[in-house]
A and B are shown apart, each in its own frame.
Chain A
Amino acid sequence: MIEIRDLTKRYGSFTALDQLNLSLEEGVVFGFVGANGAGKSTTFSILATLLSPTSGDALINGKSVIKEPKEVRKQIGYMPDFFGVYDQLKVDEYLDFYGASYGIGAADRKVLIPQLLELVNLTHKRYDYVDLLSRGMKQRLCLARALIHDPKVLILDEPASGLDPRARVEMRDILRNLKSMGKTILISSHILPELAEMCDEIGVIDNGKLIAHGNVASIQAQLQGEKRIVIKVTDQLNEVRAFLEEDPLISSIDLMDNRLEIAFNYRGTNADQVALLKKAILANLPIYALSEEEKDLEDVFMAITKGADNQ
């Protein structure tokens, strides 16, 4: 559905995007993660036909953003990170204007607008002026606007930024709904846990380069050379520690006396881990639980971007 090839954007000597390559299937929800200024918005602006790349190309449903921008615009619904609304325009007139801008006939618009307002929970605000809506409502209205021509692809630049927790949950529910409708969705965010929940794939961008791409689990696995394991014991904390210190695959052992827990980094494979557990039980150590500490996406992101900086 989306094919980005060697996409590069330079502003003078500054490279905002450096030969970005990315391919996404239809119906995928793709989370674009990166620090501010990493190149997320530049990529989205190019996909939204607002910006020409210096070199490379991007195809949306087979249409090139450079050669057929008008065709691309029919395929995409774009929501920028910062946007304004017109004063003195009511919610239904706002949607009517954009509907007409996409060449949708007056009769069709009349049918569409209530449906879209329902989808984004704004039916009760239909006759209110748009500039009087709250930030979260404006955000949802903008999403409804992006959907008015029934695009296959949605490009949402920071859709949750500046929203309070309730508005964020509402936005997430709407996006889930859109996902179930089969839309291909690209979302950028610097708030990672939100994305992890709903994205099929994640791309991490840093300094204009895509440094990781895959599903959430595979990215985590790819980045976690070591796992962090926690063992819980009933007593004999020091004996367990001495036992662990003998294993060459183990490092960074931390004792948590007050909780009778030991955490350590483990470099071995799953099979190695089975052997270790067996050995521990045979040694009569009072272990009653062993678990892998989940790294959240935030840690992963920090690890990746730090790695990229060091290169």
Chain B
Amino acid sequence: MVEKPKDVDIGGKMPTIEVSHQDLCRLVGKSIPINKLKEEGILFAKGEIDEAKGDLLKIDIKDTNRPDLWSTEGIAREIKGRYVSGGLPRYKTKKSGIVVKVDKGLKGIRPFTVCAVVKNLKIYDHSLSQLIQLQEKVSVTFGRNRKEVAIGVYDLNRIKPPIRFTTVKPDGIKFIPLEFRKALTPRQILKEHPKGREFGYLLEALPEYPMFIDSAEEVLSIPPIINSEYTGKVTKETKDVFIECSGFNLKFLIPALNVMVAALSDRGGDIERVRVVYPGRVLETPELEPKAFELNLEYLNTVSGLDLSIERACRLLNQARYEAKPSGKRIKLLYPAYRQDIMHQRDVVEDVLISYGYNKIEAVIPKLATVGSQNPIESFSSTVSDIMAGLGLQEVLSYILTNKKNLFEKMNLREGGSVEIENIVSANWSVFRTWLLPSLLEFLSRNKHVEYPQGIFEIGDVVNLDNREETKTKDTRKMAVALTDNVVGYEDISSVLDSLLRSLGTEYKLNRIEHPSFIRGRVAGIFVRGRKIGFVGEINPLVLEKWDLEKPVVGLELDLQGLVS
């Protein structure tokens, strides 16, 4: 299976997770052959098995908005609902008595945290790697690469509560970060620790950094960078863990925490609540009470195109881990607290359809009486391409992004206005082209070793600033031609122009103009119905030098929109 094409990948990068087949079947409570999993089972978790090597499955989860699916535990919940037993998964919690105190100094730095305790874990290889993987996926994909959500997991028995969520000066307390042997200041960690270098940009500009620290002044972590080696290391010997999620918005933090504790609970852990004390406000987390929703049966059938009875719909929803009860023509629903993606009945409809099975539904090609048409400028461009190819010229295609040097300096022009990108990836691709000929000269400069004569053309869009437009810019469809050989002159390119315009039945006039990219006295403006729509001439040797071209070049550029309108 090939990587998901980015041109249809609008929802963000989908997570790929590694799962042990045996571990998955154990959590489902039923042995499912890999083939059956591939063909059907995994589809219930919006997944696709990308690779199966022995016991190891690589699974793409196609939903970037369902962090609850990004672990073996989450996948198992969905498959169990369809193959073993469905209904709402219930999560019991009790008080841990642990308090986390949040300093008001965190405002503007990393203001929020929600926390939990999970006890009596039996951590073994799979559960440990799943815990780390889920923590990673949630903070990268759902947590916007730790910006919105950073997750810390600690060995509870090494912490002396109460815990403080506070701030620290960059050169404040030293502690040993995870996987290191010597104690470093937070500023040193940002510079020296691999995670510091990777995520340091999230803190760098701040006067103080966020920090979790316990009552014995033992540092837990500086989120979102790194835990301490002493408290923040979870191993197979760890029995009880403390989990915190920190960030800027409870809407992200609460579901992230719920996803984490639900997964640990599915492996037999006991969830306990933590009191998070803010200045003037107390949260008790995790909050795992199921949420209520309603689905209208008629709406379900209208959107799905299926004629489902209310009983059938409820059964399909129970398989999708809802608690669904008919109430007249409506279905009363409870859904688990780890889900944060349900905003509208539509979201529930999809879950019904997934339970039903997308591939069991008859696909109906819509029979609508519509008349197809191309945009006139596209069909005109096509006609012009055919004429140009008929003249023996090779069509080329360039990027629209370029740089000012190519557009202006190398064309012997003073810098003009152009659309400029702020967050460039490379200076080579930093502005939108305002005309086409530079693209063609660049093309020729890369083909000096190729057989001559060379004749090329391009039809494409350019963007120019235009304050009258809604987008302050205007796209124009243009065509440019360039010819080069040991001997080539004005008459060669003007005859190309003439054959094109005669073929199109367009009357035109050539008038002498000045254009610094061309040789003085060998450049003309192309006028149609009194309006200048382009220019044609011999390229200035100064320009040839700048492009490192050693043979004469003649060229033309034409506004195709100006030709039709």
Partners in one complex: no
**B interface residue numbers (CB < 8 A to A):** none
